[in-house]
Structure 1
Amino acid sequence: MEERARRARREDRWLCVRITVLLFVWRGSLAQIRYSVPEELNEGAVVGNIAKDLGIDLSILKERGFRIVSGSTEPLFQVNQNDGILYVNRKIDREEMCERSSTCLVNVKAVLERPLEVHHIGVEVVDVNDHPPRFPDTERRLEIAESALPGARFQLQAARDPDAGVNSVQFQVVAKDSGTPSLSSNVTVNVFILDQNDNAPVILSPVSANGSAEGVEEIPRNVNAGHSVTKVRAYDADIGYNAWLSFSLQYATDSSLFGLERYSGHIRTLRSFTETDEAEHKLVIVVKDNGNVSLSATATVIINAVEPKEAFAASDTKSAVQTEEEDYVTFYLIITLGSVSALFLLSIIGLIVMQCSKPPDNSSKYSRDSNYANTSGSGTLCHSIQYRSGDKRYMLVGPRMSIGSAIVPGSNGNTLVVPDHRRRISGEVRN
């Protein structure tokens, strides 16, 4: 019983203490005051005189330990125990403290001891237009499809690297507040026109006479694996990734015989032909672009396997070689005949030149005509005899004379005297 009585007395005492504290708090709450200060005040700026506003005697401030209590290790405000003035302890930044709140109120407590008094003080921080509007990034990239209609709206998203190509538009966005003075900021927006996959691939080859994407190719049956048959060519009017084309084989008469390169469109044989393979093969090629919604076009290639023409090719080659050899023989014959004719002509010309340039005969000046006459009175000789001498030596040229003939000088030349009787006479030639 005694133990219960002791516990009851202790609880009563604690209850009295709590009531006393609540009374002090209630009394302090009645004395609550409120101040209003602008942000960005420097350290030491005066907020207000707490002692004067609360009606506290300045002489007891130190004695009762007058102070400011806040939950921060670095309080924004402090009080001077000599005059009871509340001042700024560090610079106040409203945006840092209250962010986007419409009201920024800082609560502090002014405490007096012996007896305990707590006074609640509220300090409202008024926003000051000290920060211009800022964008997260100085540049933003806005991508708009080329099919966008006039009046379409687009939200500015996260910034990206700008593009300065022909499909970009650049403009400035200015944001201005309504403060006094008004502050503003701007951002450069680069709008890049994204290509839309609105163009299907166009087949360039093969193309038939009527404009359809069809073609016929012929290859010999004796080709080996890897033989190039033909190449499908296509074009896409889009740009970038949308213009990347890929080729695939949609249908083939024999898929084991022909293959198609995915990105080049080259058709090649995968193996050699056999006797059981058909002579005609049909291939249907699909050309697709790389758009999100892929567009495609088809081309048809007919491949005919024909018999090899090696014998005809060999015959044609032999005939061509023979014709070429005959042409060479004719050419050489013409050159030979021409050379012989030229040499003959040059020889004739040389002979003519030699005859024309031959010097005159020096012995002609010693030539002298001689007339011979019969001195016996029977008449002259039946013929004349001429002689020449180039070295002043005389030689008788003529028919054989009879014994007793003589040569005597005449008026116009030398005269040969022949007596009637046959005897030898000596002839003397005078010059």
Structure 2
Amino acid sequence: MGQRGCDRTWMKGRSVVCLIAMLLCGVASAQLRYSISEEVEEGTVVGNVAKDLGLEKSTLKGRKYRIVTSAIDPLFNVDQNDGILYARRKIDREEVCERSSTCTINLKTVLENPLEVHYVAIEVVDLNDHSPTFPEKETTLEIFESVLPGVRIPLQPARDPDSGPFSLQQYKLSSNDHFRLEVKDSGDDGKIPVLIVQKSLDRETAGSHTLILTAMDGGKPPKSGTMNILVSVLDVNDNGPIFSKDVYTVMLHENAPVDTTVIQVNATDLDDGPNGDVVYSFSNGVNRKFFKLFDINQKTGEIIVKGLIDYEERDRYEIEIQASDKGLPPMATQKSVIIKIVDVNDNAPDIEVTSFSSSIPEDSRPGTTVALISVNDLDSGVNGKVICSVIDDVPFVLSPSLQDKMYSLVTKTTLDREKQSQYIITVVAKDGGQPSLSSENTISVTVSDVNDNRPEFSLSPYTFYVTEGNSPGASVAHDCDEGDNAHISYNIMRNADEKLTSFLSINPENGEIVALKSFDFETMKTFQFQVVASDSGTPSLSNNVTVNVFILDQNDNAPVILYPLSSNGSAQGVEEIPRNVNAGHLVTKVRAYDADIGYNGWLLFSLQEVTDHSLFALDRYTGQIRTLRSFTETDDAEHKLVILVKDNGNVSLSATATVIVKLVEPKEAFAASDVKGAAKDDEDSNVIFYLMITLGAVSVLFLVSIIVLIAMQCSKSTDYTSKYLPETNYDGTLCHSIQYRSGEKRYMLVGPRMSIGSTIVPGSHANTLVLPDRRCTSEEVRKTILFLGSYAIILIRNKKLILQNNLLNRNRQEA
């Protein structure tokens, strides 16, 4: 404590001396210099700056007197009240000025109004407050006994943060016979101790030596630090390891499990300790890939399996093994280990399709090559012998090639795409190992189409039932081929009845048949034609089918009244009956017909209007009108009956007839009956007369036709100026005819006289006479004559039927 006070007094005196020296040197510089010892307490006064600069204390605060610094935590501060500079915290010179012989801190003070800048330099004086220290308290040196004297071993130097005379000054080594110390001055790095061997070492005499290194500074008294040095004398490694065999050879099966022991090598070293401890490893020249397959135990020399051993990849390994001791430097010896791999049947045959045609025409001949197949087995010997075959029942077979393990896949029989268009062929390859391994490969072969099938219709013939509304039909065919060979187009064969097929149309794509005009059941009930289906192959194949069309009747004809029928064509008649007739008397019978058939032509009769419902009854099926009771005097003399005749179609059609029933006295009725009888007789006579005329006309027509045909056969003229020729023999009562020409044929329509309201149906084949042209053959003439004779017989029969009908009606009325 007393010494620290003396130091402070000495420092103050030194500051005053520095200040006087600066004032003597020149006041204009405005720079002060102070000195202060390190480690002073916080608040220690450095100097009175205001006094030393001659500044008024009263103006310091107003002129904002301060130290200008960028430090976050400055070491010094100035009091604005009295201008004293003092230390803000304890100052460590080694921290502020590390490794510097002098430590000066420059400060800049500022006054405002007017602005003045004054510089203050503060020297921090060092104290001997640190002792020399080594990085380690103890260190170990290993030195071989074979080292020669004079070997220099640098040691770690000690460090002293103090500077000047208080820094590290010297080293001392404890007394010994084998080592001495030398100090090397490295300038800024300080002094470095160097240990020098001055006498040979003998490990057998002394295995180690203990030394003490001491470092001292220049303080009074000096401070020091020590480090213990342990010198281990190492044995000299003068013997290398020796293997027990010159060459190591071993057999190893492929696919051996991991950690399987391959072989164990052995080497010995005559040295003791580490120099005699042997360590095993792979030599540096070993292929790095082997490290993934094998490993070696460093202590035992056992080589084990580390990865997958594959005979097909490599069948022999030669690995160089190194045995080294632990000497410094170590000594090593190398030996080769030969590992021969034994093949195992672990590879299935590999099937490769080298050339492949995925499509083959169905008309290919047997023996046509479809694919080339190569088979390979990586195994050797019997394990690599492969037998190849085709499984399943397919029309293909494997044919061995001249080259080993090559096969050709060829067709065995003819192919038919329509039966099977694709084959999945499984090729099996089997080796000769035990157990045997096999593999499969599938080949997909598509049979391409050849146009070898005609279109086939699903039905033959086709039968369509078409109503009179002309619903279309469809004629569908299929072709077993494919592509263009199966693309079917439809058409109607026109070489038959051109007139019939001219009003039919068929869709060439789907075979839909459409009529171009309406059918009439009453004119044509059935017809047939042929449809041809052709594919688009080259050459094209075709097939035809017969189509039968049956026209179904529709209720398109209303009932026609045959009786009663007045002279003007209206369905109205007058019937006279005696007033004294009994109940059930037949008044008359309404007759009607319907051109339709079935239910469409089934007629029913009903009374639509009657003056007295109690007098008359109508049979709904026969059309007979009968009395229900006897007439009385009060009954009207005339009664009107309106009869409704309708068919049984889905949409019923009807017609009406009016019957006027007049009641007469018995005498008048008898007279009227006589008049009717006479009229009937006259009518019968007229019918017979007309029949005779008809027979004569037919006979004349027959002779004239023969003469005309003979004349046409002999004549060469073909002049037809009119397409429609009127018949000159038409008498207006018996028959009428129309002649027309189409192409080279003439046609004549003949028939009975039509009733009023009736028409000739166009397209009807009834009563149509085809007249041959003038170049017709004798066969056609013969057919024409037979037709005329038959037609005459038909007319005679019709007239007989008319006569019989009239007689029957007259008898009923008389009854």
TM-score normalised by L of structure 1: 0.48
More strand by proportion, 1 or 2? 2
Greater relative contact order structure (CA < 8 Å, 6+ sep): 1
